Structures are given as structure tokens and as C-alpha cells.
Amino acid sequence: MDSEILAVGTELLMGQITNTNAQYISQKLNSIGVNVYYHSVVGDNSKRLKESLLKALDRCDLVVITGGLGPTQDDLTKETVAAVLEKELVLHEESLARIRFYFNRMNRKMTDNNVKQAYFPEGGKVIQNNNGTAPGCIVERGEKIVVMLPGPPKEMKPMLDDAVIPYLEQKSGYKTVSRYLKVFGIGESQLEDSIMDMIDTQKEVTIATYAREGQVTVRLTSKSKTYQEAMMSIKPVEEKIADRLGDKLYSTEDEDLEYVASKLLIENGITISIAESCTGGMISSRLTDVPGISKVFSRGIVSYSNESKMENLGVLPETLKKFGAVSQETAVEMAEGIRKRAQTDLGISVTGIAGPDGDVDGKPVGLVYVALSDKSGCDCRELRLAGSRDKIRNMATLHAFDMIRRYVMGAVDNK
């Protein structure tokens, strides 16, 4: 089954509201084997809406429309669908009763135009709205299906999940299953090149790569009648790609790098403390996003000035004078200082030049040092990063989590 998602609302075209519904609906449709081929947006105009709907029905079996189900004159979705499908609008008494009950419960007066929301194309399957006044509807004509849902996500999502997806799932007969392999330490083009032979010969399992600042995801997708059949197709492809990527692959469960690193710390009872300069608390903030991290995370210090590095972390004045705040030597003393003061198994530090101003003491913007200290010594990684201030800080944070991940995995393997 091929589908199009058609969003109705002039406010979407004007940029006043972001169309988050399309993403959510696409994910849900793909999960039941429905192909999503088009996203369209049209304003509150009957002529243009009619043209968009006719075009969608010409090229797709299913059209999911969001918006335009309200009580005002510019809410024209049901009227337009009825006209295109050549169906009469008829009053649905149960919906009218529910709308009246909704207003009574809210202690608000129901105006005459709200009755409009209880009219639907004849023969349609009405979808109750438990979070608002606009019911939805599923209408079929021949081999074509039109689904109408309200625009507000808090109303649309439960109606889609509880009524539309189960209805369409029976008609689809397929499930689309995807696995997401998350990678750090290799660019998208280099990764794609390493698996290009598999991409060129893909059959039952489609392989796609896409990048997000510093990280790359490989999506493996299979469409089968059952989840188990899809996974049987995906598993050997996943294992082959994982073997090629080696330790650059950090998750096959669509997890973020900070979550993977934090989970490893928690599972192995390895305590940690953080000293941050240029990242300004980003590492600590992302650590505390992970439930249960309090078991292993002792403290995080944002040590921006030289005075703070000396007073709070024990960095030697002569180290700062000789090598500067942005140096391997300072990063090492920061990591060791925070570990000893917090009495944790690990200490992590970051110091660098995030920009956008020019170099400092002959050191370029993007020069960052990330150090990891334990009782046996300290490992320091020199990074040459590029991009905006935010990007440099984010990349430095990701490298810190990658060092944590690799350290814990190595410690576990050596037990």
C-alpha cells in the first residue's frame, strides 16, 4: 500500500507551526508495511485542497489528512473529501452527543458551529477524539482510503495509534522492521564506502546511511509478514556490517553515545567525576539525563578560568604558565585532579578553544584535549575539530563519551 500524508493549514505554510505530525505518521505507517511516498502541505483553501487531494488519490492508495476538522468556516477538510469522493455529509449522533458532553464537562458553552464537527462523509468509520472536540474519520471508495485526523498532535497521535494503525494493519498484511546501527569515529562517506558492495547488492534488506553531527547511523530495513521473518533477514546483514565496523559501532539499538557510555558505567559499577572547561558542563548534563547515573557519577566541575583550575583541580601554576590552559599537560592534571578529589575510579577532563575568535597563543580554534584518568595513569586525546562553537563543544563531548565507552569495554574484556 502506497500513501501520502497531506497536512492542511495556512499556519503551516506561514511557518507559525512546525509539521511534526508528518514525521510521527510516517514512522507509524512504515512500521506496518505501508510505503510513505509523499508529504504535502496545503492552506485552508477549498480549491487548492481539492486539487491536492485529487493528486494524492491519483498516485497513492491511502491519503492521511491532518487538520481542517474544526468548527470554523475555514475548516474544510470533511467537506472537500466528501465532494471528491462523491459522498453526502451526514450527522453522526453519537459524535454530537460526545461533543456536547465535552463542553459540559469543561463548563463552556457549545456554539452552533460546533455541530459542524459531528458531520461526516456517508459510510465513513468515525474515530472518537478523547482529547478534543474534533472526531476523525476513515472513508473508503473502491481501492482508495482517506483518513482524516485533527491537527493538534495531542489529539492526533492517540487516534492514529488506537484506531487508524490497527485498521490499516489488517489491510496491509506486512510489517516493516528496522534496525539502527550507531557509529562514532568514522565519516558517512567513509562508512558507506566500506559497505558499498553490500549496498549495491541489497535485496530483501535495504541499507541506508545518514549522518548527524559526529555520528553516523546505518538503517537496515526489511518488510515481511511477521516481525520474526523480518529479523531473520536483517540479522546476517547486521552481523556482517558490525564485523566490518569493529569498535566504531557502539549500538545496534538506536541508542545515543552518552546513553551507551553511561549504561556501561552503571552496569560495571565504575564511578566517575568530570572536569570541564570549553564544554561548560555539557558532559555532566548529558550524564544526568540517564536514569540511575547517580550510582556512579560523583561530581562535575566547570573549571573555566586558570584560577579555578588551580584551586578546584590542583593544576600546577607552572603547568599553566609553561604549556597554557589548552594543552595535554593541563588536561592530564585536570583529569587526575578531579579523580583524586572525588575519589572516583575515573576522572574525565576537557579543555580547548571552541571559538569563534581566532587562535590563542598560536593554538587554533578547534584544538581540544580530552583526558581520562584512572589509578594506573592517564590517557589524553588531542582533537582538531572544525565548525561552529556549538559543534566543537558537542564533538568534544562525544569524544569524551567515546573514551569512556572504550575504557569500560576494555576493562570488562580484560577481566
Pairing of strands 297-302, 272-276: parallel
What confidence tens digit (pLDDT) does each residue in 86-128 have?
Answer: 999 999 999 999 999 988 888 888 888 899 999 999 999 999 9
pLDDT at 412: 64
Say which CATH architecture domain 175-251 belongs to.
2-Layer Sandwich (3.30)
- Residues 186-238: tens digit of each pLDDT: 988 999 999 999 999 988 899 999 998 889 999 999 989 888 999 999 999 99
Annotation: CATH topology of 257-413: Maf protein (3.90.950)
Tens digit of each residue's pLDDT (9 = 90 or more) over 16-68: 999 999 999 999 999 888 999 999 999 999 999 999 999 999 999 999 999 99
Would you state the cell numbers that stand for residue 162, as one nine-digit string? 488506537
Whole-structure pTM value: 0.77
Q: Which residue has the cell 575504557?
A: 407
Which range, 104-108, 176-180, 377-381, has the best average confidence (pLDDT)?
Answer: 377-381
Pairing of strands 119-121, 89-91: antiparallel
What would the pLDDT profile of 125-156 be if each residue is shown by its tens digit? 999 999 988 999 999 999 999 999 999 999 99
Neighbours of 289 (CB within 10 A): 11
Q: Report pLDDT for 173.
A: 79
Residue pointed to by grid coordinates 590517557: 379
What residues does each domain of the chain span?
2-172, 175-251, 257-413
Phi, psi of 413 (to 5 degrees): -65, -30
Tell me which fold the domain 2-172 belongs to.
Molybdenum Cofactor Biosythetic Enzyme; Chain A (3.40.980)
* Burial (0-12, 13-18, 19+ Cβ within 10 Å), 291: exposed
Which alpha helices (DSSP H) does 317-388 contain, by range?
317-323, 328-342
